[in-house]
Amino acid sequence: MLQSGGQNLDTEPESGALELEAGAGELGSGRPPRQGYWRLVGRQFGKNRMSVGGLCILLFLFVVALLAPFLAHEEPIYLHMDGETYWFVNVRDIPELRRVNFGQWEPGEGEAMIQPPIPHSPLSVNLRRRLEAPSSDHWLGTDDRGRDVLSRMIWGCRISMSIGFVAVGIAASIGVVVGALAGYYGGYVDSAAQRLIEIMMCFPQLILILALLAFVPEQNIFIIMVVLGVLGWTGIARLVRGEFLKLRESDFATAARATGVSDVRLMFRHLLPNALSPVLVSATFGVAGAILMESALSFLGFGTPPPTPSWGEILSQSQTYINRPDGSWWLVTFPGVAIFVTVCSFNLVGDGLRDAMDPRLRQ
């Protein structure tokens, strides 16, 4: 039995007794560039132009969603009024300005105001300007309450993106835990999880969501997120289960077990990082699916409750006015294109990720 490791271990290997492998000598000198896994994936992903394009569009949409108050709002970014200077009125609550309607207010003598590029709030109603076609004032027209469509689309981007990500976040968390337990423990745990997944997959998702929403007394976007998340984890759970079934037999899992690592640590620290690639791909597709599902629900009138702007909600208004001479085409086209482009981008990025992570395609 070793009593003190330091004493026994600190001698350098003698050159005669132990010839260093050629590679050990290489370590100091010209070592190859660092090849982390994600670096490899990144390089492979960069080769796929469509996916890179999709990623660029998504990044643009994230920026739009983040900067919504600075892109489309009545309240000014900079205001000089009554001898006082205010900054960032659009994102701060300033009590003395609460009563000012910046939709009508014009700066007088010695006063100044810098508004965001689209000086319309998503919720400010102007019934005199209902259903106007795109013009220089309202770039993408107005809806049936005279609200600016572009402003609502920019704010709707926030809503749609958060629904997509939060729903998939919930779905992935449930899916990873269920899949990990099922795959790792196998046997009865696995059978139970598999039957549950099969039962859930039997129901058409849209109908199940509508049925669930019927039980909710008050609708808001968080409920939509949770419902989409709670019903969407089955695919991810199956993926993770499959990966865990494979990984738990691997030598490094046995090595960790031989080290004395606990089951939880083994599952989440050793196996999960190796099982995440397919989850990431599936989650990317999942975000697209969730956005699409939210739009479909809103279109049917079960989704985001008005007046909260979301793409599907704007789209749903167009149903009523499709019979007008101009067909209120701007209400159909712009949110439709936004949904289409976003969903396409997520799918392209997901495709690219899947290809980049596939070891068989890698050089």
Partner 1 sequence: MSMSTDGPLLEVRNLVKHFPVHSGVFGRVAGYVRAVDDVSFSIPRGKTLSLVGESGSGKTTAGRCILRLIEPTAGRILFDGSDITELNRRQVRSLRRRMQIIFQDPYGSLNPRMTVYSTISEAMAVHGLVPRPQRRERVEELLRLVGLSPDAADRYPNEFSGGQRQRIGIARALAVEPDLIVADEPVSALDVSIQAQILNLMEDLQQRLGLTYLFVGHNLSVIRHISDYVAVMYLGRIVEYGSVEAIFNECVHPYTRSLLSAVPEPDPHRKRERIILRGDTPSPINPPPGCHFHPRCPDAQPECAQRRQRLVEVAPGHTAACHVHAPAPEQLVSPMS
CB of 171 to partner 1, least distance (A): 23
Contact status: 359 vs partner 1 (CB under 8 A): no
Contact status: 259 vs partner 1 (CB under 8 A): yes
Contact status: 264 vs partner 1 (CB under 8 A): no
Nearer to partner 1, 13 or 95 (CB): 13
Nearer to partner 1, 30 or 32 (CB): 32
Contact status: 274 vs partner 1 (CB under 8 A): yes
Nearer to partner 1, 262 or 320 (CB): 262
CB of 38 to partner 1, least distance (A): 10
- Distance of CA 129 to CAs 124, 145, 320, Å? 12, 8, 17
User: Which range, of 14-22, 52-60, 65-73, 78-86, touches partner 1 by CB under 8 A?
Assistant: 14-22
Using the rule CB under 8 A, which residue among 18, 127, 202, 207 binds partner 1? 18
Using the rule CB under 8 A, which residue among 129, 145, 246, 257 binds partner 1? 257
Contact status: 222 vs partner 1 (CB under 8 A): no
User: Which range, of 72-80, 120-128, 139-147, 251-259, touches partner 1 by CB under 8 A?
Assistant: 251-259
Burial 39-66 (b: 16+ CB within 10 A, else e): eebeebbeebeebeebbebbeebeebbe
Q: Which of residues 30-59 bind partner 1 (CB under 8 A)?
A: 31-32, 34-37
Nearer to partner 1, 1 or 207 (CB): 1
Q: Which of residues 136-195 bind partner 1 (CB under 8 A)?
A: none
By CB neighbour count within 10 A (0-12 exposed, 13-18 middle, 19+ buried), where does 212 fall?
middle
Contact status: 87 vs partner 1 (CB under 8 A): no
CA distance 165 to 209: 18
Contact status: 323 vs partner 1 (CB under 8 A): no
CA distance 180 to 11: 44
CA distance 200 to 183: 18
Contact status: 95 vs partner 1 (CB under 8 A): no
Using the rule CB under 8 A, which residue among 10, 82, 93, 218 binds partner 1? 10
Nearer to partner 1, 31 or 360 (CB): 31
- Measured on CA atoms in the order 176, 181, 183, 184, is the torsion positive or negative? positive
Using the rule CB under 8 A, which residue among 261, 296, 332, 341 binds partner 1? 261
Total residues contacting partner 1 by CB under 8 A comes to 41
Nearer to partner 1, 36 or 108 (CB): 36
Nearer to partner 1, 49 or 265 (CB): 265
Contact status: 28 vs partner 1 (CB under 8 A): yes
Using the rule CB under 8 A, which residue among 173, 220, 254, 320 binds partner 1? 254
Summarize as ranges the residues that interact with partner 1 (CB under 8 A). 1-2, 5-6, 8-13, 17-21, 23-24, 27-28, 31-32, 34-37, 250-252, 254-262, 265, 270, 273-274
